[in-house]
Amino acid sequence: MDSTIFLFLLQDGIINGAVYALAAIALVLIFAVTRVIFVPQGEFVAFTALTIAALENGKLPPTVWLLLALGVLAALSEIAQYRAEMTLKRLARIAAFDIVLPLVFIAIATVVAPMKLGEAVYILLAVVLVIPMGPMIYRIAFEPIAHSSVLVLLMVAFGVHFSLTGLGLVFFGPEGIGTAPLSSQSFSLGALVITGQSVAVVATTAIFLALFALFFGRSLLGKALRACSSNRIGARLVGIPTSIAGQVSFGIAAFMGAISGVLVGPLMTVYYDSGFLIGLKAFVAAILGGLLSYPLAVVASLAVGFAEALFSFWASAFKEVLVFALIVPVLLWRSFTSPEGHD
Amino acid sequence: MRRAIAPLFALVILVLPFTGLLSDYWVALFDYIGIASLVAIGLVLLTGVGGMTSFGQAAFVGFGAYATAVVTIDTGLSPWLSLPVSVAVTGIAALLIGAITVRLSGHYLPLGTIAWGISFYYLFGNISWLGAHDGMSGIPPLHIGSHALIAPEEFFVVVWVVVVIAVVATQNLLRGRMGRAVRALRQGVHAAEAFGVYTPSTKLKVFVYAAMLAGVAGWLYAHFQRSVSPGPFGIIPGTEYLLMAVLGGAGRVYGAILGATAIIVLRDQLQSVLPLIVGSAGNYEIIVFGAILVLILRLASDGIWPILFGPQAAPRIVTPPPDAAPPPRPRPAADAVLVEADAVRKEFGGLVAVNDVSFAVPAGRIVGLIGPNGAGKSTTFNLVTGVLPLTAGRISFEGRPLSHHRPQQMAALGLGRTFQHAEIVPDMSVIENVALGAHLRGHAGMMQAMAGLDRVEEMVLLDIARQQLARVGLSDVATVPAGSLALGQLRLVEVARALALDPILVLLDEPAAGLRVGEKKALARLLRELRAEGISILLVEHDMDFVMNLADHLVVLDFGTKIAEGGAGEVKNDPKVIEAYLGGVA
């Protein structure tokens, strides 16, 4: 391998790694706050990319119907769970968030979609459509069993993944789509051609990671979430509602997923089920960081991205085999170095 | 009644498919159910009983299926002869994968299985001599003489005979001493290790057994389907198998068949019914499937079987043949020193938890280890039992120095112990919990247990447990789940379990905590009886009345250092002891 190839692979790895980093951060956040190992994180990524693609074609994105479906389910789920203590105020809030909000989005999207207002609008609309899905999924699947073991939560996460992939196929169809690049410029650095897209990916990721750090370091909500993740019971005792914390963390995760979706759309052909592999690789990175440390998860994401680039150069057929096999020795090392990982 | 079930079931297997009551379609469906049941039975043992959650069992089905495909297509070998090949390939793969996997702790273990589960799927799909993503076709069917078993009803018999064998073998295994060891491991390793169970190797055996069942399922699948491709061996089928085991009921062998039936029939019905309702083809079944998974775990996380048929029954206790009991352990000479701790030291980083403490436990004596909170009593206890390694110093047992001693070795030497926080298996009956203590007094391995050759030994072990339960006064709760007992009773269960080992030394960690006055008196009486029998006792205790009246010799620790030693009277009046307990005299 000469240095040009190496640099090319490095660039490729950093781009992939940057995308995984956003998802990995989201996984660590969700695990820390709710103990859910959120397998379907990648779905947010795929759905966002597919939404942007639909908007680019001037079509009403099917995402709006998916959002409405999730909203109805979330409403039913919450009413079923809290039927004994249901108040009018709570019903009104459920109706506003789960039914009216998706309907408003449907109206907006119906009006805006055919106007083809440009990439910025598409991205904004797609992100806004995907974010509420996070809290909705949390309320449907995880809030009622929030006190279960990590294992039960993991299996439920798989159930959610199955359902979301199935819904993805119904709403988006089996075709793969790529979206327009964020920047079509490119420049050379020695022998290396750097595309505007790759700069955009790295810059966006860096900005959002910084925002993320700022949010958790400075804001009250961020500190409350940190409190929840370090000691759930303690957080409740000082008045932080864990349900809200769960919803917020899923909302943030959906937001991070949506940003990843904006970034990967132009890089690869996205199918309704492409999210799974992206999510799983982010998951490898999150595990490398022990599902605990955000900076480690970012570093590990870059390592996974680079390893993937290397593997696809050396043994492209076995790329996935090697990426996932990579995790096993790390888990072993984690098992021996961390205190007992029991629930 | 119970005896009639097996022959009746055999008759159903042999006759039902040929009666015409079931259409070919349903017979074929039941063939697939039988194949999946095998995998789910393995998972019941691995996950439900052993607590190791595997999302990757489908990969082992793949190993079994590909192994027979490669062997039979290329060489024309009879599929019957390739069964051992399938089992061996799967077993070796499981041995290698399991050696790493069973050492993963907590939720890292399921994550590890997901990782290799996905890896193998891509591996199968990228190896050209396995046909890559297209897979391999033209696998020969099973033959009897020159007759090919292609019809679903003929294959039905083969599949379900294998399932019956697997059920019987697995039930036998679970009933025996290895089964108890596996069930104990699910709750945590301390109790099992303290009675001689080697955790990683026991877990590995279970892992390999579960994988081999999956390998047999793969072999059946390959010769029924007559072709293999990577699809059914990925992470989603792996999750489905896990779901079958969980849905049926954690830890219940018949539950696995129930779960497999429910999932496969459900999926099949969804595939045929949903398009009629929704009107177009799509992957609707997976949506509903995921939703049902979520709902089941919301509503019935213990599975269906326990809801339908109640909790697992305790084993029946039968009096064993008179001369079957193992010989009692030889007691040490009356004046021998049993345990001698010589300047033992334990440091955690910079903290010296136990500071060069020396003491001895003579045969047939009760020695009390006392001291204020944080004095290092439990740590000293863990050093003697081999749970923690020594930083420095030496511990000898019957005059032999022990270096790097492990809890299992101590159990083999005749050291029985209890735990400060009761380490019992709540969903196992009281008598089986006690029988875990007699683990080392039996010898039957997995194979013997599966073949049912451990019956006499099992009678003996359960009889030992029955006697010890009677001794601590818990005969009337022998068959209830241990989790339903009060804390005081659990302490006595632990004492009975320690006695089931036939110990020469018993280490009791706060045995009187949580006991009522009457129970304490009964316990003290029991301990005196044991002493009279020549059993030595080392106990950590906070209840001063209890320990002062009982112990022949007391060792007082404070901040990790021995501050006094001697009889109750001496120690009680020692100024250093008074200061440690009551603070300095002003």
Q: Give residue B1's pLDDT.
A: 46
Q: Give residue B278's pLDDT.
A: 64
- Most B CBs within 10 A among A77, A328, A332, A338, hence the mutation to make, goes to A328
The gap from C-alpha B516 to its chain's centroid, in whole angstroms, comes to 32
Q: Give residue B4's pLDDT.
A: 67
If you average pLDDT over every residue of chain A, what do you get?
83
Distance between CA atoms of residues B580 and B558, nearest Å: 7
Nearest to A126 by CA among A190, A50, A204: A50
Cβ atoms of A20 and A305 closer than 8 Å: yes
Q: At a CB cut-off of 8 Å and minimum separation 6, what does B270 contact?
A: B284, B285, B288, B289
Residue A152: its H or E element:
helix A150-172
Distance between CA atoms of residues A209 and A211, nearest Å: 5
Q: Give residue A341's pLDDT.
A: 40
Q: What six digits make up the tokens of A130?
A: 């995907």
**Which chain A residues are closer than 8 Å to B289 by Cβ?**
159, 162-163, 166
Nearest to B166 by CA among B215, B225, B221, B200: B215
Cβ atoms of A275 and A42 closer than 8 Å: yes
Q: At a CB cut-off of 8 Å and minimum separation 6, what does A326 contact?
A: A284, A304, A307
Cβ atoms of A325 and B115 closer than 8 Å: yes
Cβ contact, residue pair B122, A163, below 8 Å: no
Q: Give residue A343's pLDDT.
A: 37
Q: Give residue B3's pLDDT.
A: 59
Q: In the CATH hierarchy, which top-level class contains the domain B332-414+503-586?
A: alpha beta
Check residue A145 and report its DSSP letter.
G
Distance between CA atoms of residues A20 and A35, nearest Å: 20
Nearest to B581 by CA among B373, B358, B359: B373
**ipTM confidence:** 0.80
Spans of all domains in chain B:
2-233, 332-414+503-586, 424-502
* Contact with chain A for residue B110, Cβ under 8 A: yes
Indicate the SS3 state at residue B200.
Answer: helix
Q: At a CB cut-off of 8 Å and minimum separation 6, what does A63 contact?
A: A47, A50, A51, A54, A126, A129, A130, A171
Q: At a CB cut-off of 8 Å and minimum separation 6, what does B569 contact?
A: none
Query: What's the pLDDT tens digit per position in A44-59?
Result: 999 999 999 888 888 8
Separation in Å, CA of A144 to nearest CA in chain B: 7
**Which chain B residues are closer than 8 Å to A173 by Cβ?**
none
Tell me the mean pLDDT per 10 residues along chain B, length 586. Answer: 67 78 85 93 88 90 93 84 92 91 81 88 87 84 82 87 91 88 83 88 92 94 90 88 83 86 86 70 72 76 71 75 79 82 87 87 89 84 86 85 80 87 87 90 85 85 90 88 87 91 90 85 90 89 85 88 84 82 64
Label each residue of A106-135 as H, E or C.
HHHHHHHHHHCCCHHHHHHHHHHHHCCHHH
* Contact with chain B for residue A320, Cβ under 8 A: yes
Question: 112-151 in A: which are within 8 Å (CB) of B?
Answer: 140-141, 144-145, 148, 150-151
Q: What six digits make up the tokens of B136?
A: 């391999």
* Contact with chain A for residue B294, Cβ under 8 A: yes
Residue type, B312: Q
Nearest to B123 by CA among B204, B235, B237: B235
* Contact with chain A for residue B99, Cβ under 8 A: no
Q: At a CB cut-off of 8 Å and minimum separation 6, what does B450 contact?
A: B169, B170, B172, B173
Asked if the model's pLDDT at residue A342 lies above 70, the reply is no
Cβ atoms of B478 and B469 closer than 8 Å: yes
Cβ contact, residue pair B236, A169, below 8 Å: no
If you average pLDDT over every residue of chain B, what do you get?
85
